[in-house]
């Protein structure tokens, strides 16, 4: 069964410098019908104005993956200072800058303070913020960041995050895997088997594509349950994320 989550039906929020679309309940947006899919809890489509961003804030016991579509996203954190018991403020310089093709995993664990901001002064930064339920709570906070070139994702799905860092992906404390791919034209397609004991989710970041023959447009999602196979085809400028998920 495939259920389409239309981009136009997502929750919306705006602060002036931040425009967000929420595929699942988040913050002030609450929808009883859309409270995650399996252990995928949050999928926010965020656009941040130049030289603006999220001030210092805390997370704990959450696996957070950031995927940049355009621009540059920088963050500061206090993870490197964790040996000091009284350290609660982010470090004064960015510990990482993410650009298109970069993927960052943050394991919030027992607690982390960080900030995120648009590192550019002349253009927006567009990125996806993705939260997974962790397998284990109270672990040591950590970050990991890797680059996945567009050429490697062209016409195929590349695993970018997984529980054990499979196939060169970032390693996360969650029973899930995440793939990314770029598809344009009928010559580019991908097929992979699905485990019917688990759940799958497809998010189309931009362009158009067909998921098992079902058309998706930019911002749409597809919730898959009891499907034996996933086929992505007939893409036009499509950038796709595919999730393999535990049933909570």
pLDDT in tens, 27-51: 888 988 899 999 999 999 999 999 8
Instruction: Please enumerate in sequence order all residues whose Cβ is within 8 A of that of 4, keeping only pairs 6 or more positions apart, or say none.
Output: 214, 216, 220, 221, 222, 223
| 90, pLDDT greater than 60 | no
Classify residue 195 by its DSSP letter: -
Helix (H, G, I), strand (E, B) or coil at 235: strand
For residue 93, pLDDT over 90 is answered with no
| pLDDT tens string 150-203 | 999 999 999 999 999 999 999 999 999 999 999 999 999 999 999 999 999 999
Cα–Cα distance for residue pair 241/155, rounded to 1 Å:
13
| CATH code of the domain occupying 2-245 | 2.60.120.10
Structure letter (DSSP) for residue 109: T
End-to-end CA distance of the chain: 18
CA distance 138 to 125: 32
Tokens of 246: 């535990």
- Nearest-angstrom CA–CA distance, 98 and 205: 17
- Global pTM value: 0.91
> Does position 130 have pLDDT exceeding 80, yes or no?
yes
- The residue among 81 and 8 whose pLDDT is bigger is 8
The per-residue pLDDT of the chain, averaged, comes to: 90
Considering the chain, what percentage of its residues have pLDDT values greater than 70? 91
| Residue the block writes with tokens 């900030």 | 115
Distance separating alpha carbons of residues 21 and 63, to the nearest angstrom: 20
Q: Spell out the domain ranges in the chain.
A: 2-245
| 3-state DSSP helix/strand/coil % of the chain, to nearest 5 | 5, 55, 40
């Amino acid at each position: 069964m495939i259920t389409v989550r239309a981009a136009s039906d997502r929750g919306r929020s705006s602060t002036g410098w931040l425009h967000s679309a929420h595929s699942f309940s988040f913050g002030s947006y609450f929808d009883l019908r859309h409270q995650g899919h399996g252990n995928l809890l949050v999928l926010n489509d965020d656009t941040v104005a130049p030289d603006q961003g999220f001030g210092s804030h805390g997370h704990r016991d959450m696996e957070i993956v950031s995927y940049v579509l355009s621009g540059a996203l920088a963050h500061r954190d206090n993870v490197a200072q964790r040996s000091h018991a009284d350290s609660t403020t982010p470090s004064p310089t960015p510990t990482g800058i993410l650009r298109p093709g970069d993927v960052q995993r943050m394991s919030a664990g027992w607690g982390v303070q960080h900030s995120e901001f648009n590192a550019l002064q002349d253009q927006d930064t567009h990125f996806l913020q993705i939260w997974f339920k962790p397998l284990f709570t109270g672990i040591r906070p950590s970050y990991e960041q890797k680059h996945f070139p567009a050429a490697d994702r062209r016409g195929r799905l590349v695993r970018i995050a997984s529980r054990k860092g499979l196939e060169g992906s970032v390693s996360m404390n969650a029973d899930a895997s995440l793939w990314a791919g770029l598809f344009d034209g009928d010559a580019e397609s991908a097929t992979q088997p699905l485990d019917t004991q688990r759940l799958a989710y497809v998010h189309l970041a931009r362009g158009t594509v067909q998921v098992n023959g079902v058309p998706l447009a930019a911002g749409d999602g597809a919730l898959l349950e009891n499907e034996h196979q996933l086929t992505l085809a007939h893409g036009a400028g499509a950038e796709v994320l595919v999730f393999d998920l535990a049933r909570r």
